Amino acid sequence: MKEALLEINNLCVDYVSANGVARAVNNVSLTIAPGETLGIAGESGCGKSTLAFAITRLHKAPALISEGEIIYNGRDVLKMSDKELRDFRWNDVSIVFQSAMNSLNPVITIGEQLTDVIVAHKRISFKQAAVKAKELLGIVGIHGDRLKSFPHQLSGGMRQRVVIAIALALEPKLIIMDEPTTALDVVVEREILNELYDLKEKFGFSILFISHDLSLMGEIADRIGVMYAGNLIEIGDAKTVFSKPSHPYTKGLIASFPTIHGPKERLYGIPGDPVNLLRLPTGCNFQDRCADCMDICKKEDPLLAELNVDYHAACHKL
C-alpha cells in the first residue's frame, strides 16, 4: 500500500451543549492514499459532515475536537498555527459542501469567488487570476463569459459545476465532497459525476466522498467506510462492502437501497430509529436495532477488528 496522503487517528469530535456532550465522531481512524476515492456512508446524523469539517478544522463552537490526530503529508493539522492553517486550506484540501447551492455567496460574482481564492494563495494579480478562472470554468464546461454572473443567474447544475471549478482552482491533492449531488436531478447528477471522474484522471487528486447513497458509492469509490452514531463500524474495499458486507448495520443499509441492474427485490429498511447521541447505551450502539444482538453486545463496545487484509468491522458476532 502506498504512503497515506491523509491519516486520521482516533479522532473524536464533541458538540457541547447545556444538555450534555454529544460525541458526533467517536474514535475514528482512517487513511486516504494518493489518488484514491474513499466513500463514507451512513444515515443522516451519523457524523459524516462533522468528520469532513474536522479535516480542515472548520468546526465552530459548540463543536470541539477533543482527541486524535489528523496527519496530512506528515504534518499534524491540529497543531498548525492560524497562518499555516490558512495556507493549508484549499491549497491541499478543498471542499465541495453538502449544500453546494448555498455555498456560493449570492451577492458576489462567481468570477470574484473564483479569483479571490487564487489571489489569496498565489502571488498573482487579479487580472492573471481571472485568466485562470476562465480556464477553470472551461474545464467544467461553462462559458468564460459567466465570470460576471451572479449565482442566481445560473441553473442548479451550473452552480454545482462552478463549485467544482472553485474546488479545483489550486489543484489540491484531496477534495472532500459532502453529498455533492443530492440537490440535483438524476441526469445532471450522472453527468457531473462522469465529468468528475474525467477530472480525477486528469489531475490525480484523492476524493473523500460522503453520501448516504450506497449504490452510487459502490460505483465510484475504491474503498467504503460506514459510520453509525459517530463510529466507523466497517471499512474495506468497495466491492466487498457493497456485495458482501459483514456488519449487520451495513447489511441493512444496503438492503434498503434499490439496485439499478439487479432483479426486483423487496426493499428492507432498518427497524427502529437512530440512537440519541446524548443517551448512548452501554455496549454496541446498534444493539436495539440489531437482529443478531447477543449478551456481550449489551456489555462491551465492539472494536474495529481486521477481518481480512485492509478490511475491518466492529461487531461481536464477527
Partner 1 sequence: MSFLLRRLSFYFTAFLIAISFNFMLPRMMPGDPIDALFAAAQGKMDPAQMDAVREMYGFVDGNVFEQYLSYMQSVFTLDLGPSVLMFPIDVTTVVGMSLPWTMFLALGSLIVALILGVTIGTYSSYRREGFFGQFVPPFLAFISNFPYIVTALLLFYFFGLQLELLPLAYTYDPAIDPGFTLEFIGSVAKHAVLPMGSMILVGIATWVFNMRNAMINVLGEDYVTMAEAKGLSSFRVMYRYAGRNAILPVATAIAMAIGFSFAGSIMTEVVFNYQGLGNILLKGIMARDYPLIQAILLILVSAVLTANFVADLLYVWLDPRISK
For strands 174-178 and 93-96, give the pairing.
parallel
Give the total residue count for the chain.
Answer: 318
Q: At residue 43, what is the residue type?
A: E
For strands 6-17 and 20-32, give the pairing.
antiparallel
Q: Which partner from the list ligand ATP, partner 1, Mg ion, none does 15 bind, CB cut-off 5 to 8 Å by kind?
A: ligand ATP
Cα torsion 86, 92, 95, 96 to 10°: value is: 140
Nearer to ligand SF4, 47 or 248 (CB): 248
CB 244 within 8 A of CB 313: no
Q: At residue 295, what is the residue type?
A: D
Which listed residue (116, 213, 222, 292) binds ligand SF4 by CB under 6 A? 292
What does the H/E/C string look like for 167-207? HHCCCCCEEEEECCCCCCCHHHHHHHHHHHHHHHHHHCCEE
Three cell numbers written together for 150: 451572479
Q: At residue 29, what is the residue type?
A: S
> Which single residue is written with the C-alpha cell 496522503?
5
Nearer to ligand ATP, 60 or 83 (CB): 60
Residue 49 engages Mg ion in binding (rule: CB under 5 A):
yes
Burial code (b: 16+ CB inside 10 Å, e: under 16) for 108-144 equals: ebbbbbbbbbbbeeeeeeeeebbebbbebbebbebee
Which listed residue (31, 297, 304, 312) binds ligand SF4 by CB under 6 A? 297
Residue 48 engages ligand ATP in binding (rule: CB under 6 A):
yes
Residues 221-260: x where in contact with ligand SF4 by CB under 6 A, - otherwise, as a string? ---------------------------x------------
Q: Which partner from the list ligand ATP, partner 1, ligand SF4, none does 22 bind, CB cut-off 5 to 8 Å by kind?
A: ligand ATP
Residue 18 engages partner 1 in binding (rule: CB under 8 A):
no
Which listed residue (102, 155, 276, 282) binds partner 1 by CB under 8 A? 102
Residues 153-182: x where in contact with partner 1 by CB under 8 A, - otherwise, as a string? -------------x----------------
Residue 181 engages Mg ion in binding (rule: CB under 5 A):
no
Nearest of 104, 106, 123 to residue 166 by alpha carbon: 104
Q: Which DSSP symbol is given to 64?
A: E
CB of 306 to ligand SF4, least distance (A): 16
Three cell numbers written together for 85: 492553517
Nearer to ligand SF4, 52 or 304 (CB): 304
CB of 301 to ligand SF4, least distance (A): 9
Residue 98 engages ligand ATP in binding (rule: CB under 6 A):
yes
Residue 100 engages ligand ATP in binding (rule: CB under 6 A):
no
> Which single residue is written with the C-alpha cell 448512548?
280
Residues 63-92 within binding reach of partner 1 (CB under 8 A) = 85-91
| Residues binding Mg ion (CB under 5 A) | 49, 98
